[in-house]
Structure 1
Amino acid sequence: MVLEPLGKLFNTAAVLSWDASLTLTNTLRWNRKVGQVTPAGCPGAGGKWPEFIPPKEGDSRCSCPALNAMANHGILPRDGKNIKFTEMNQKIRETYNFAASFCYFVPNYAATMLKKDYANDTFDLVDLDLHNGIEHDASLCRQDSALVPDQSKPHAPFIRELLDSASGKDNDGNRLLTIEDLTKYSTKRRVEARETNPDFTLAKVHKTFGSSNSSTLLTIFGGRVDDLETILLEERLPDGWESRILAPMGLTVITFNLTVLRVERGIDEEKFIADREAAGATPKDPAETAAAAETLS
């Protein structure tokens, strides 16, 4: 059985080598033009997204707003079921301008997590919510699964608080989330989830997943509050929207991880607790949190 871990090691090395070459290519070629990021002939080209239809009863959705939005627009199957891993690879690349290496690595990771074959098998979106697979505690958009098992719907209070914390502005005065905003809110969520969820866990790998999700808001979505309000709350791509990544080969793993590392390194739970105590604030009450979760479920 030594061959299986060796095969994974060689596969990862090959993907990272491929990713490095794409990262280099991005530095040597012209960026895509604004308004032409989505490839011609693909859904969303020129900002014209397919009709948005909210999920109906029986449809499969997950804790990822970006994937749910793709199903809501019919870019992925509208019922969110029987999706090929290879299809997700292609559609994510076209929709969000992640690099080809990134778009192979993530679905392949998901297939391995679900003990399925990347090249031949399919999955439903809800399958991705296997707890402590990719889905994890202290999400910025969902309550912990121990409190609300159905992870398909966004938790509006978390999202509102996150977006209200935006401290940046672009040249046109539009409000932007910054790395500092994401680190502060991620810290708050981790501390409060740890205090209110008796089954709370957050291994190092899931901390990385959490900071990766935050980094997607800053990279693909540019941190733009007006867009994120629609994407996170409605799980809909706004009219005229396109990925904020202009790199010709898309956002690579290497480039993306530069943002992920900055977000994760800024998270400081001990400082948050000390500052809260100094301000005379009290921890979240687990009973109140459980009652609120029961009301919303």
Structure 2
Amino acid sequence: MFLTRILQDFAVFGWDFVLSLTNILAPLRPVGHVVPEGHPGAGGHWPEYMPPKEGDSRCSCPGLNAMANHGILPRNGKGIPFKDLGELVRNTYNIAPSFCFFVSNFSANMLKRNYRRDTFDLAELDVHNGIEHDGSLTREDSVHVPDQGTPHRPFIEELLASATGKDKEGNTILTIADLSRYSAKRRVDARTSNPSYSLSFFHKMFASSNSSLLLTIYGGRVDDLEVVLLEERITEGWESRVRSKMGLTIAALNMTVLRVEMGIDEKQYAQSIKQI
């Protein structure tokens, strides 16, 4: 089983490499046509937003929760086939099929289920130190709040207020340096307040991957992120800032991930608060 997974991962990364090369050569998707015709969100027209009701299942991922709130995933967040998740995420956010398969298959393995036959509820993804981790930018640690389905407004507001960049249209955006700086703060603060705090190298990279999606899919734009992070809603007219023909690949995202993670200096932040 272990060898099978290793070989499968190699195959996925090879697939991802081919898609990355294709993106270099292929024209970008036209603005206004990033979501394929016939799929929810095509032309910027998203299905009706409905906040979750009592008993609905939600997780620590704002992007998946938003899909459920718009009915792209089941609105109750339950009984989602692993094999269907990737295509739905791909069409919604223009993420490469290699990337979508890797994450969906990883989730199935994490829950000890069969990727092709089984289903899951969103809340089940929040196995501690599976995908969910300490020091999140949008959630309190699970030791304090076991239900990770609800965003923590103070963290999100502080994150967005830390934005220092501007895009070509003059919109306020988060930068790589902003995310590195705030990630350092969250990790130090979480370690201080959480007696069982843990963040392995794998989960540090996973955390920076989540941060990097804010920069790639949303272009770091604060006005878009405020809606999706706080309300877990997709703004009418919005489309992914990723316009690559084959979508956002693992290789492309990792170029941003490494820059975010390498810029995180927990010691510098810890020293700064001691001096206050």
TM-score of the superposed pair, with normalisation by structure 1: 0.92
Distance 2:65 2:48 in 1: 14
Which of 85, 88, 91 is the equivalent residue of 1:91?
Answer: 88
* Number of aligned positions between the proteins: 276
Distance in 2, matches of 1:29 and 1:273, equals 45
Q: How does 1:184-223 map to 2 (within 5 A)?
A: 184-223=181-220
Give the CA deviation at 1:86.
1.0
Q: Is 2:66 aligned against 1:65?
A: no
Q: What's the % identity of the aligned pairs?
A: 61
Q: Deviations over 1:100-150 (max 9, x none)?
A: 100100000000000000011000000000111000000000000000111
Q: Which residue of 2 aligns with 1:36?
A: 33
The alpha-carbon deviation at position 95 of structure 1 amounts to 0.1
Write out the 4+ residue segments of structure 1 that deviate beyond 6 Å after TM superposition: none
Which amino acid is 2:51 matched to? P
Distance, in Å, in 2 between the alignment partners of 1:253 and 1:170 is 24
Aligned partner (choices 155, 159, 173) of residue 156 of structure 2:
159
Distance 1:39 1:175 in 2: 28
Letter in 2 for 1:111: A
Aligned with residue 231 of structure 1, among 225, 228, 232: 228
- Asked whether 1:114 is paired with 2:95, we answer no
Q: Does 1:149 align with 2:173?
A: no
After TM superposition, give the deviation of residue 276 of structure 1 in Å. 2.1
Q: 1:127 aligns with which of 124, 129, 149?
A: 124
CA distance in 2, matches of 1:275, 1:164: 19
- SS of aligned partner of 2:56: coil
Gaps of 5+ in 2: none
* CA drift at 1:6: 1.1
One-letter amino acid of the structure 2 residue matched with residue 46 of structure 1 = G
Shift in Å, 1:275:
2.1
Task: Tell me if 1:18 matches 2:29.
Answer: no
Deviations 1:219-247 (A, max 9, x none): 01110000000000000000100000000
Larger radius of gyration: 1
Q: CA deviation at 1:209?
A: 1.1
Residue number in structure 2 paired with 1:8: 5
Equivalent residue letter for 1:206? H
- Alpha-carbon distance between aligned partners in 2 of 1:89 and 1:5, rounded to the nearest angstrom: 23
Matched, 1:271 2:258: no
Match of 2:171 in 1: 174
Root-mean-square deviation (CA, aligned residues, Å) is: 0.6
Q: 1:259 aligns with which of 239, 256, 260?
A: 256
